Amino acid sequence: MKNLNSVVAIGPQALPGLAEMLRQRAVSQIFVVVDSNTARHCYPVLEPYLPAHTLIEIPAGEEYKTLATCETVWSQLTEKSADRFAVVVNLGGGVVTDLGGFCAATYKRGIRFVQVPTTLLAQVDASVGGKTGVDFQGFKNQIGVFQEPAGVFIDPQFLQTLDNRQLKSGYAEVVKHWLIADAPAFDTQRHEGVLVEDWSLIIRDSVATKQQIVEADPLESGLRKVLNFGHTVGHALESYLLLQPGREILHGEAVAAGMICESWLSVQKGLLSETELDRIETFLFSVFEKVQFVTMETDAIAQLALQDKKNSGTTINCTLLNGIGKAVYDQPVTLAEIAESLRYYHRL
């Protein structure tokens, strides 16, 4: 599944690089997948760099990251007689890059796609690493495949289209990369927070961290699981609130809460010190607002962790911290421990 011709371009030359790739390769048709937001704010920036193409617009929002939306994409590919030399360009955040990549990877057993991520979350995480997929029955990324894109083209200028909440959501994944693999960056960068004038270097370093891990374990059989720090509890919390109209939260907000819960679990397992936990909590709460839920909901939220993709049978496998900057994967935790971590977070 590893595409050895895959390229990652970051910076002002990213979009010209995409244009050059499309000129050099045998391409029968180009399809651009956007959502209603990126169609308005980002597509006008990308359009001048593209040859003739077909625009496929989907609704914006995690609630549309479904097989039903995939059917509309597949239908338009079919109606336009897209063959296996077609290329799909996914222009958007994590929903668009995940869903568009999945549609391309499964259409006619796989056609090429490229990612043009427009949110910080997608630029440092969702568009890199070859994971594609959609949510199913309320569970995050329940249906999907591993498939590397032909290229990832990251232009930080798209971040100017984001509001502060969306920007911070992506920042959670940057912090995650520091906590699992780069203690010095956590020590220095946390004093700056999201008050960043030029995101290019942070994006480049974050992508490099993820690429190094993914290249060592493309199909998540071992080391790549460290990238799921904060996600066992975070995905359960996100999935639970996604099913509560009006209470939905962004992915990064859930991951930030999950990182606090899983850092607390790391302390309980004797892996992380109380001092390190305090540093993590203090920093995350300086950036992210507390996710709201009530104590009586913790057991129901914890139950959703049984659907986590890292589990082995009924054993919930979690990624924990063996000190800041070092993650350990396949750490078994119980439903009771997850619920207790949520209660701990609720008390903070």
The fraction of the chain above a pLDDT of 90, given in percent, is 88
Q: Which of 177, 228, 310, 340 is catalytic?
A: 228
- Quickly state the pLDDT bin for 36 (edges 50, 70, 90): very high
pLDDT for 4: 39
Name the region of 61 (left: φ>0; alpha: ψ -120 to 50; beta: rest). left
Q: Indicate if 53 belongs to the active site.
A: no
What pLDDT was estimated at residue 318?
96
Catalytic hit among 210, 253, 276, 310: 210
Q: Catalytic residue among 235, 238, 276, 337, which?
A: 235
Do the strands 327-333 and 316-321 form a parallel or antiparallel pair, or are they unpaired? Answer: antiparallel
Active-site choice (140, 176, 177, 220): 220
> What does each C-alpha distance from 179 to 149, 189, 269 come to in angstroms?
27, 12, 17
Whether 210 is a known active-site residue: answer yes
Provide Rg for the chain, Cα atoms: 20
The pLDDT assigned to 3 comes to 43
Among candidate residues 148, 173, 262, 337, the one labeled active-site is 173
**Of the listed 23, 79, 109, 164, which one is catalytic?**
109
Q: Report the distance separating Cα 323 and Cα 279, nearest Å.
A: 12
Instruction: Specify the 3-state DSSP secondary structure of 117.
Output: strand
pTM over cut 0.75:
yes
Distance CA 53, CA 39 (A): 14
Catalytic residue list contains 2: no
* pLDDT above 70: percentage of residues in the chain: 99
- Structure confidence by residue, pLDDT tens digits, 299-309: 999 999 998 87
What's residue 308's pLDDT?
Answer: 80
Q: Side chain identity at 7, as an amino acid letter?
A: V
CATH code of domain 164-347: 1.20.1090.10
Whether the Cβ atoms of residue 175 and residue 284 lie closer than 8 Å to each other: yes
The mean per-residue pLDDT over the stretch 102-130 comes to 95
Which stretch of 85-94, 119-128, 225-234, 293-302 has the lowest confidence by average pLDDT? Answer: 119-128
Helix or strand or coil: residue 81? coil
Q: Which of 65, 168, 231, 310 is catalytic?
A: 231
List the catalytic residue out of 65, 112, 131, 168: 131
Q: Is 251 a catalytic residue?
A: yes
Q: Where are the domains of the chain?
A: 7-161, 164-347
**Does pLDDT of 5 surpass 60?**
no
Catalytic residue among 65, 176, 224, 225: 224
pLDDT digits (tens, 9 = 90+) for 118-165: 999 999 998 888 999 999 998 889 999 999 999 999 999 999 999 999
Each residue of 197-220: pLDDT tens digit? 889 999 999 999 999 999 999 989
Active site residue: 112, 140, 168, 251, which one?
A: 251
Please, what is the average pLDDT of the chain?
94
The yes-or-no verdict on residue 6 having pLDDT over 90 is no
Separation between Cα atoms, residue 270 and residue 323, nearest integer Å: 10
pLDDT at residue 191 in the model: 80
Structure confidence at residue 224 (pLDDT): 95
What's the confidence (pLDDT) of residue 148?
Answer: 93
The confidence score (pLDDT) of residue 254 equals 98
Domain 7-161 classified CATH 3.30.43.10? no
> What's the start-to-end Cα distance of the chain, in Å?
43
Closest CA to 40 of 125, 146, 161: 161
- Measure the CA–CA gap between 94 and 100, rounded to whole angstroms: 10
Annotated active-site residue 235? The verdict is yes
Reported as a single tens digit per residue, the pLDDT across 162-204 is 999 999 999 999 999 999 999 999 999 888 778 788 899 999 9
**168 given a catalytic annotation:** no
Mean pLDDT confidence for 28-40: 98
Is 84 among the residues known to form the active site?
no
Residue 269 burial (C-beta neighbours within 10 Å; 0-12, 13-18, 19+):
middle
2 has pLDDT over 60:
no
Q: Over 60: is that where the pLDDT of 242 sits?
A: yes
pLDDT at 190 (0 to 100):
81
Predicted confidence (pLDDT) at residue 286 exceeds the cutoff of 90? yes
Q: Are 245 and 269 in contact (CB under 8 A)?
A: no
